[in-house]
Structure 1
Amino acid sequence: MARVLPFPALLSTLGTHLEADGPSSRGVPKPSHVRPLLEAPNPDAELGRWRASGAVLRDPRPALYVVELHGPAGRLSGPPVRFLLCSLRPDAALPLEQDPYRPRSWCVEPAVTLAADDHGVLRGLLAEASERAGVVWQGAFEGSRVVLRRIEPSAISKRIQAVLDEAPLRPLAALDEQHPTLAAVVPLSDPGLQLEPIHRALKGVDTFKEETFLTLVAAYARIYELDEPLTSPRGLAAARERLATLISGQHAVLLVLPEGRGKILRFRQGLDLAHLKGAPRSPTLRSLDLALLNALVLRTVLGIQEPEAAGHSQVYPVRELEALVQGVQSGLYQVGFALNPPPVWEVRAVMEAAATLPSLTLRVEPMPPAGLLFLDPEA
């Protein structure tokens, strides 16, 4: 099990609005004030210089922190999503995905970590701690309200640590193997937490011929036509709804074709994946949409070798469905495959089985921005 600990944080002076430094990468969002730090040859050494110069101040007492992320105005009007900012020992659980994101600094970019919380105990403790904790900073980032609170060493902080000592924890980023890592732990039971899929696009695949592909894939999936083009907001919304409602007891992916055309591939029931070359050995992983896409469509039908490998020359991860459609429309990609968001129970089953997801299977929304506080590299 992982070991979650309080830590002496380094705090910087922040304005009321954090400016975004371009689009988010594979890691956590990076406001502009942390850009000089992360672009330094050695970010941890640069953070040490910031501390020596007084640019950041060290909280003298180790503590836990909670960051509250409120939804933008008009969206997610429920309670905020709460992340526990803590120090995570290097003997923590392995990352959830293969080839996880490797941050430039384990002291600056918090490693988002999913915590199994089947009965909502951790979620309740974070809410209770937030009511008692003092505000360290509050402001806005990308249109959302953000509040950082300090949890003083107390009975409730010990209860939080005791719960996390027993809960399965799986980070979405690589951890420092020698030193503690700054982590942002979020309970899977949080109703505001969204697990978003990472889609797949193909480029340079000589074996993909649309008519032949549709004929061959029909042995593994039923094909559904879409009424409206994916290039219109209405067509895209209808495709999302159709994809989400076709998966009762089954699995499906959205095939994105040129000229805004789209089809849904609904995998047939009773497929014997256990004896299929390239299918995951774990029954838990064989139930994932991405595993079915990799094994049945990309490997078997198209003959792509190791489509799940990171940095593949023909298979590209795409974070947003709109970007996938635009990429196929512009000719950047030959074809795309869009996935449903992975359900929480499925991710929980992977954690329970101590299995590892393929690279870039999912992302978390919302995510806490870097730079709210830092882990002292000299602590």
Structure 2
Amino acid sequence: MARVHPFPALLPSLARTLEPSGVVPRGNAAPQPAHVRPLLEAANPSAELRRQRESGVLLIDARPSLYVVEVHSQAGKLGGPPVRYLLCGLRPDGGVPLEHDPYRPRAWEVEPAVTLTADDHGVFRGLLAEASERAAPVWEGEYDGRLLVLRRIEPSPVSKRIQAVLDEAPMRPLTALADAGPTLAAIVPLSDPGLELLPVHRALKGVGTFREETFLTLVTAYARVYELDEPLDTPRGLVAARERLATLISGHHAVLLVLPGGRGRILRFRQGLDLAHLKGAPRNPTLRSLDLALLNALVLRTVLGIQEPESPGHPQVFPVEGLLPLVKGVETGTFQVGFALNPPPVWEVRAVMEAQATLPPRTLRVEPMPPAGLLYLDTDA
């Protein structure tokens, strides 16, 4: 299990409003404000961070501490309480990422490794709220339309209680941790109602075995096919498809088939399918219940004959974040066809953590995420 530690921080001089870098983060990387991009693009980000430290550009907070960052809703107070992340030093100590082939930070001291922790009874969430009420703000500003508040948690009984709770709680990072030394981590409880787990969809390109009529005939052995009432290339059609996909899963699993011309079908997998005998199905029964695992094993491997569709960098299978980009990609001919998934439910992610299993690559991402560059972990202190 990974271990949480207070850490000495390097604090940059931040403006009231942070400018987005314009680069869309990959996978579960933290968003990068413009002031962080030159640091991460340096040949050796760690050496560049050390140079800035020695030149006096960064304020040195040598006393090891924990920090909490509050990410408020874009709707302001009407959006409810903020999502709170604990910023800390995280050492692996046997902890493994939640996903296969996780995102590897360019600099483990700069990009916070977003880490999910089980918090079934809301204890950790309550401690973060308590610590936030007592902690003085270090910085307050805006990023990408959201209010952010960074607070320093002084060494205190509350900080010790936070560490004690996390010493026992299952934690799984969404990014790779540093092999030697601590990683700057942003830990968020799965119990936070403002946290969204978003799916990463799949698109196909260059698959010679895909013929629409043949595919729809063959897939009926594993799934029932439902028509959509509205085309996917309209806002109303997208909303209707999301709602239909979400409401057809009672006791079942389903995916949305995205076809050219704004057309679509919903594939609801049949109950009682024996997946254990399929070569491409996960051996772990917990993983076999995932929508993505069913898509990979039944549709991509068995029906279409695609080899290792879950392998990173596959030449025919591409992860796509967001239903609208998936529909546009199929519409413009960038992709042959797409498969959209429901968001993974919290209980399912919790079950994977409890089983010490690992999700397929690019299964999920979280929103909102704290941006990189609010502070840095000082490994030289």
Using the size of structure 1 for normalisation, the TM-score is: 0.99
The aligned runs of 1:79-118 (5 Å cut-off) are: 79-118=81-120
The aligned runs of 1:82-161 (5 Å cut-off) are: 82-161=84-163
Deviations 1:201-254 (A, max 9, x none): 000000000000000000100000001111100000000000000000110000
Counterpart position of 2:26: 25
Separation in 2, partners of 1:341, 1:73: 22
Counterpart position of 2:358: 356
Question: Does the residue aligned with 1:33 lie in a helix, a strand or coil?
Answer: coil
Q: 4+ residue runs of structure 1 moved beyond 4 angstroms?
A: none
Separation in 1, partners of 2:375, 2:75: 25
Separation in 2, partners of 1:123, 1:44: 32
Counterpart position of 1:198: 200
Identify which of 175, 186, 190 aligns with 2:177. Answer: 175
Counterpart position of 2:5: 5
The aligned runs of 1:233-312 (5 Å cut-off) are: 233-312=235-314
Counterpart position of 1:232: 234
Separation in 1, partners of 2:323, 2:379: 39
Separation in 1, partners of 2:179, 2:198: 28
Q: Tell whether 2:373 aligns with 1:371.
A: yes
Q: Which amino acid aligns with 1:25?
A: R
Q: Which amino acid aligns with 1:19?
A: E
Separation in 2, partners of 1:55, 1:199: 42
Q: Which amino acid aligns with 1:238?
A: A
**Structure 2 unaligned blocks of 5 or more:** none
- Whether the 8 Å CA contact 2:26–2:103 is kept in 1: the answer is no
Identify which of 46, 52, 72 aligns with 2:48. Answer: 46
Root-mean-square deviation (Å): 0.9
Question: Does the residue aligned with 1:8 lie in a helix, a strand or coil?
Answer: strand
Separation in 1, partners of 2:89, 2:173: 13
Question: Does the residue aligned with 1:59 lie in a helix, a strand or coil?
Answer: strand
Compare 46-55 and 22-31 and name the one that shifted more: 22-31
**Structure 1 unaligned blocks of 5 or more:** none
Q: Which amino acid aligns with 1:15?
A: A
Identify which of 218, 221, 234 aligns with 2:220. Answer: 218
Separation in 2, partners of 1:37, 1:19: 15
Q: May I ask how many residue pairs the two structures share in their alignment?
A: 379
Deviation of residue 78 (structure 1)? Answer: 0.9
Identical counterparts, % of pairs: 76
Deviation of residue 378 (structure 1)? Answer: 1.2
Question: Does the residue aligned with 1:105 lie in a helix, a strand or coil?
Answer: coil
- Whether the 8 Å CA contact 1:44–1:377 is kept in 2: the answer is no
Deviation of residue 34 (structure 1)? Answer: 0.4
Compare 147-156 and 53-62 and name the one that shifted more: 53-62
Structure 1 286/213 Cα, relative in aligned 2: closer, same or farther at 3 Å? same
- Whether the 8 Å CA contact 1:3–1:92 is kept in 2: the answer is no
Question: Does the residue aligned with 2:286 lie in a helix, a strand or coil?
Answer: helix
Separation in 1, partners of 2:35, 2:57: 12
Identify which of 328, 331, 338 aligns with 1:329. Answer: 331
Separation in 2, partners of 1:137, 1:328: 43
The aligned runs of 1:49-64 (5 Å cut-off) are: 49-64=51-66
Structure 1 92/161 Cα, relative in aligned 2: closer, same or farther at 3 Å? farther
Deviation of residue 92 (structure 1)? Answer: 4.7
Separation in 1, partners of 2:111, 2:142: 18
Separation in 2, partners of 1:44, 1:141: 24
